Amino acid sequence: MKPLYKRFILKLSGEALQGEAKFGINSQAIISIAKEIKEVWQLGCEIGVVLGAGNIYRGNTRDKTIIDPVTADYMGMLATVINGLALQNTLEKLGLETRLQSAFDMKQFCELYVRRRAIRHLEKKRIVIFAGGTGNPYFTTDTAAALKAIEIGADIILKATKVDGIYSADPKLDPTAKKYRVLSYMDVLQKRLKIMDSSAISLCMENHIPIVVFNLFKKGNLKKIVLGKGIKTTVTE
């Protein structure tokens, strides 16, 4: 079957890599994610991955008497490189060719992000993992995903979560929460639905990049989404 999207950004939270563990990288979780990515790569898709780092370090949980917010954000950026190395290694053990690019120079571990180089890698069907966020404090990895999608000419952002779409409230806490099938960018901003930060939503709106929110942890779900199937919420115009 022909995929609906030729090139896309897969946005993964750091928590996705920790699986059922309380922190860190869970082997079974990262292997499962890598297998899902491989299934989609075999369809001929060009895949960019943007990683968070909540499994290692979250800036908003810092001890504010010791660590200032800028330093906390730098620590989070470094943690995304650790996650990127783990995902890269796991994908390569499955026989996939990858490149890890960072928003800041870490030449001992990965390439520095260069837009043209990233696009060439994608054209050669290498999976490109983007680490380091935007390279600047006060911006989340959601914003990094939106920027990378714009820069590489992605068709869409696929936002991987542990639920099957966007709800009016947390469905795990509120059984009456309503699930949305389709939302506009303005709906997300006005309803303050915290699926991505407002900067990321605004960038996608201005550049006409749709967002699909789906459950990554249902086996085969990423492939279904890429083929235009599966349960999801779409954010678009």
Beta pairing partners, 127: 98
37 in any annotated domain? yes
Per the structure block, which two tokens stand in for 59?
């800036």
Which range, of 27-41, 54-68, 157-171, averages the lowest pLDDT?
54-68
Among the listed residues 77, 79, 99, the one whose alpha carbon sits nearest the alpha carbon of residue 88: 99
- Could you count the other beta carbons within 10 Å of the beta carbon of residue 207? 12
At residue 62 the predicted structure's pLDDT band, cuts being 50, 70 and 90, is low
CATH of residue 23: 3.40.1160.10
Which range, of 36-40, 58-62, 128-132, averages the lowest pLDDT?
58-62
Rg (CA), the chain: 17
- Of residues 171 and 167, the one with the higher pLDDT is 167
Q: Taking the model in full, what pTM does it have? A: 0.94
20 in any annotated domain? yes
Model pLDDT, residue 61 = 67
1 in any annotated domain? no
172 in any annotated domain? yes
Q: Tell me: pLDDT of 221 over 90.
A: yes
User: What is the domain extent for residue 133?
Assistant: 7-236
132 in any annotated domain? yes
Averaged pLDDT for residues 116-135: 97
